[in-house]
Structure formats: structure tokens, C-alpha cells
Amino acid sequence: MSEKVDGKTASPYGYPFWDWMAKEDPEYVKARGPLSALSVGEGKELSIKHREMVIIGILAYRGREDGVVTHMRRAVQHGATKRELLEAIEAAAVPGGGPTLSSGVQALMQLDREGAFKKA
């Protein structure tokens, strides 16, 4: 369950550390909210799907497979296909190398196993 700060969850992504942060320093979490909204919220030239793909590439490069999975889920919610996510990881692997590809593909495989791409 996500911690509430001013009636909103501490993290729209469900990262447990934000729940802890919201308890320890609610003012920090509250202050960070507008930056997060500007970065990944609605109403920008780049769609949420495409901004999530940028985040996915960076997280894959950093080896944060848990974050890759989380942001892939949000990208899928905003219309990303399995092929688009694969191509984003392949593009990130050019400057990021094999470990980036491995982190990204393993995250994509997890979503595929979970049925994230099944047609209705």
C-alpha cells in the first residue's frame, strides 16, 4: 500500500522506498511532487509513453531491472507495444552496451510472462 501525502500516494509507481520517505520526511516528498508531474505527467509534447521509454533506457543502463519493469508497465498503460519497448531497449543498448540490453530484455520478458501484452 502506498503512503498518502496530502491525499495523494507518495509514488505513482508503487516504489516502497517512497512510502518510507513519505513517513520520514513528508515535506520532501510533497515538494518533489511537482517536479515529478512536470517530468512524467500529462500535457507535454512528448507523450507519456515516449517519456517512459527514455526513463526505461536510463534505468536499464543503470541495471535497475525493477525500475525498468515498473516503467514498462506504465508505458504499456499508455499504449506501448512489446515491439516498441524492445526497440527502445535495443536503441539504449547502442550507447549502453550488453548489460543495458540484458536488463531491458529481462524486464520485457517478465512483463511478457505476466501477460502484459495479451490481446483482449
Is CATH 1.20.1290.10 the classification given to domain 48-114? yes
Output the pTM of the full model: 0.78
Q: Does residue 88 have a pLDDT over 50?
A: yes
What ranges do the domains of the chain cover? 4-40, 48-114
Express the helix, strand and coil content of the chain in percent, nearest 5 each.
70, 5, 30
pLDDT of residue 86: 98
% of the chain at pLDDT higher than 90: 64
Residue 111 has pLDDT above 70, yes or no: yes
Point out the least confidently predicted range of 2-11, 38-47, 72-81: 2-11
Residue 5 has pLDDT above 70, yes or no: no
Which of the two residues, 95 and 21, has the higher pLDDT score? Answer: 95
Averaged pLDDT, 64-93: 95
DSSP secondary structure letters along 2-32? PPEETTEES-TT--HHHHHHHHH-HHHHHHH
pLDDT digits (tens, 9 = 90+) for 56-65: 999 999 999 9
Q: How far apart are CA 120 and CA 117, in angstroms?
A: 9
